[in-house]
Amino acid sequence: MSTGQIERVGVVGCGLMGSGIAEVVARSGADVMVCEASEDALQSGRDRIERSIGRAVTSGKIDPLDAKLTLSRFEFTPHLEDLADRQLVIEAVVEDEEVKTAVLRQLDQVVDDPTAIFATNTSSIPIMKLAMTTRRPEQVIGLHFFNPVPVLPLVEIITSLLTSTETSDRASSFASDQLGKTVITSPDRAGFVVNALLIPYLLSAVRMLESGFASAEHIDTAMVEGCAHPMGPLHLADLIGLDTTQAVANSLYEEFKEPLYSPPPLLSRMVEGGLLGRKSGQGFYTYSH
Ligand code: NAD
């Protein structure tokens, strides 16, 4: 298995997370091929990356020359076959097992490098389930980044019972040495460490609102002003995306059958109504893009 710096990375899905992951990978010096489901989604992802790098220049985090160099490392494609020469592919498509397994199955067919790593940014789906849809489960691993990726240092690394030590060493060194992230290892159980703790807390806040116990503003103010959280749970759920929050809750519930993981009806109704939080402009709060 090859070692050293990973130079050619593919990122599949360029929404909230994929765009942030692609940005930090390009800033680390690697070439990034970004793949999206459609030309429109590709353009939105590209705009999101350019805006984020623009903000990093304005705030003095990177200089304009570095920004130009970073942008020159990107290629964009709607065709998964264009990822054939990648050493590492990180999938960050929607939190839907069927969509993820279809992407991984296709990647397994098109990626030529026999040592390539397939990483998933899933928030909750057990890695084993995804790994077994490929012919190389020993090369499948969870690399779970946090939103916003350029700001939050953590990456959870999740190995399945079949992930090889070479894959996990290489992925771990990629995240810590190449990207400069703080790495923790998490068990291959739905939700891993962070979401197993975070999701029941967010769902409790939704239940509190739904039952009329407290208003959204009071719930959020309570946790910001009383517990020094940087943002309240309903703002955070809006930021994560209510569809993603619901999907993660469903995976946790399916795995553990504990009522605390079950999505409350208000969350389900909001998702069914397209009220997805910040990304759709309306969630528990209203946003102007
Ligand atoms: P998102 O809805 O913002 O983006 C998902 C993207 O996937 C969309 O742009 C969509 O067009 C694209 N997509 C769907 N099917 C595709 C396909 N077949 N090929 C290529 N692209 C496809 O969602 P997100 O918040 O970026 O979440 C992506 C993943 O990251 C999920 O697994 C989620 O659980 C995980 N995650 C999310 C957060 C968060 O805070 N939102 C944090 C950590 C991990």
Burial of 226 (0-12, 13-18, 19+ CB in 10 A): exposed
Q: Residue 3 — very low, low, confident or very high, per pLDDT cuts 50/70/90?
A: low
Q: Can 250 be counted among the known catalytic residues?
A: no
First to last CA, the chain: 45
Chain centroid offset of residue 224 CA? 24
Assess whether pLDDT exceeds 50 at residue 115: yes
CA of 38 to the centre of ligand 1 (A): 14
pLDDT in tens, 275-285: 999 999 999 99
Q: Can 91 be counted among the known catalytic residues?
A: no
Helices (H) and strands (E) in the chain, counts: 11, 8
Assess whether pLDDT exceeds 60 at residue 2: no
Contact 49, 92 (CB under 8 A): no
pLDDT of residue 167: 98
Could you list the beta-strand ranges (E) of 22-100.
31-35, 74-77, 88-91
Nearest to 21 by CA among 10, 36, 37: 10
Choosing from 123, 172, 186, 250, the catalytic residue is 123
| Alpha-carbon span 189 to 193, nearest angstrom | 9
pLDDT in tens, 199-249: 999 999 999 999 999 999 999 999 999 999 999 999 999 999 999 999 999
Q: Residue 4 — very low, low, confident or very high, per pLDDT cuts 50/70/90?
A: confident
Q: Give whole-number Cα distances, 56 to 19, 70, 176, 231, 253, in Å.
A: 14, 12, 21, 22, 38
Probe ligand 1: pick from 14, 21, 93, 231, max atoms within 8 Å of CB? 93
pLDDT in tens, 118-174: 999 999 999 999 999 999 999 999 999 999 999 999 999 999 999 999 999 999 999
The DSSP H or E segment spanning 81 is: none
Burial of 228 (0-12, 13-18, 19+ CB in 10 A): exposed
Q: Give whole-number Cα distances, 276 to 9, 221, 268, in Å.
A: 30, 21, 10
Pairing of strands 154-158, 140-145: antiparallel
Q: Which domains does the chain have, with CATH numbers?
A: 8-186 (3.40.50.720), 196-272 (1.10.1040.10)
Is 277 strand, coil or helix? Answer: strand
Chain centroid offset of residue 103 CA? 15
Q: Give whole-number Cα distances, 102 to 94, 107, 174, in Å.
A: 12, 9, 25
